[in-house]
Structure formats: C-alpha cells, structure tokens
Amino acid sequence: MLASWHCRTSGVFLFPRQNLTMLMIWAYILEHLAGLPRPSLFVFFKKNARDLLVIILGFGVFFLGSFPGVVSADVASFGSTEAQQREIGLRVDAMLNETRSYGALPISGGREASYALTMPVTAYNSLPNQTDSTPFITASGTRVRHGIVASNYFPIGTQIRIPELYGNEVFVVEDRMNPRYQKKLDIWMEDYEAARAFGLKALTIEVYN
C-alpha cells in the first residue's frame, strides 16, 4: 500500500506505508527521549541496542526506496491508521519502560498533587561516608541514578516533584536516610561538587500518591 506526501513544487511523492510507520516510530522515540536525563538515555540505548538497530536499518531503507517518482495523488491519503499508531506507541513504550525509575508511572499532565509540604532538602552522593556498605544500591534494591531521592518520611515508591528547582520533573523515593532524619529529603547526585554546592534548602514538595 502506498501513501502520499504532498510536494508544493512538483506534486506528490508516493512511498510505502510501512516507511511512514518507520518515520512515526522515530518521531515517537525522539519525543520521549528528549526529556530523559543522560544516565537514563545510556540505559535505554544499552538495553535496546538490537531493536534500535532494526529500526535504524529500516529507516535507511526509507531513504533508499521511498521516492520512486513524482505523481499526483490525494493528500488526504497521507497518514496511518489509529491501530498502527497504537502499535507504534506500545512498541516504543516497552523499550522506554526500561529507563523508568522503580514505581515511576507517568503522571498525567492534568493530575493535581495529593498534598504539598515544605521540608529541608539536601543532596548526597554514592560515597562510603554518606551511605552504607552498598553505596550504589538504594534501600529499595535499585541502582542509584538521576531521579531518585532518599527520605524516611515517605513510603518507598512515592512520586514527588520539587517545582521550585526542577519544575515538572518527577522524582521517586527509593532510598532511606539516617534514622535520625525523619522529615527531610535527600536528592541523589552523581557530581560531588554539585551536591556540596546544593547545601541545605527549605523547599516545597508536591506529593503524588
């Protein structure tokens, strides 16, 4: 099956519908990867190298075989079915799911916080003097990475936002602090100097249960 793409100067290009699907897959991937931090991007590409290679090869075929000629066609025929779009979404979401934090389901744009509170916030690194004997493993059993926080106040898996500093970015409580800190939040950072410079701040925490 062929689909058309209108060209203002020469008419309409015809190319196979499966190549349109390939374009949509890449558009979907790039849209979702744009907001991922660098560590999550590394995990995504490492775990999905084979699938991405197939998509890249298919995308190359698009450029080699998609423009056999210029003909007249109905512009309305451009696009793909809703079923194809859902299939693309499921395929890419399955890969992107590998980069999500423990307990980090997407928060819908219109969802309001369950409640908000102000508490002291600091930052920490995976250093022996700041953690226990397994500095790179959180209390929930996951590996430290951007997007996790430590706190004794919230249940493991709680999703929060810190809008004053990070806007709509979602953090997940996956680690614990020293037992003497009951109402405090610690943000994991890879860079030691950045954590030191962060200091101690009183910030508003939005909680999503």
Residue-range domain boundaries for the chain: 2-99, 115-208
Supply the DSSP string of 4-51, one letter for each residue.
EEEETTTEEEEEEHHHHHHHHHHHHHHHHHTT--HHHHHHHHHHTHHH
pLDDT tens digits, residue range 142-177? 899 999 999 999 999 999 999 999 999 999 999 999
**Contact (Cβ atoms closer than 8 angstroms) between residue 175 and residue 188:** yes
Using 50, 70 and 90 to split pLDDT, how confident is the model at 4?
very low
Q: Which helix (H) or strand (E) holds 114?
A: none
CA 116 – CA 95 distance, rounded (Å): 32
Q: Is the pTM of this model over 0.75?
A: no
Using 50, 70 and 90 to split pLDDT, how confident is the model at 139?
confident
**Contact (Cβ atoms closer than 8 angstroms) between residue 172 and residue 159:** yes
pLDDT at res. 209: 75
Q: Which helix (H) or strand (E) holds 197?
A: helix 192-198
How many other C-beta atoms are found inside a 10 Å radius of the C-beta of residue 96?
18
What CATH number matches the domain at 115-208, 3.40.50.10440, 3.30.930.10, 2.40.40.10, 3.20.20.140?
2.40.40.10
pLDDT tens digits, residue range 167-205? 999 999 999 998 899 999 999 999 999 999 999 999 999
Average pLDDT over residues 31-51: 58
pLDDT tens digits, residue range 10-22? 444 444 555 555 6
CA 126 – CA 25 distance, rounded (Å): 37
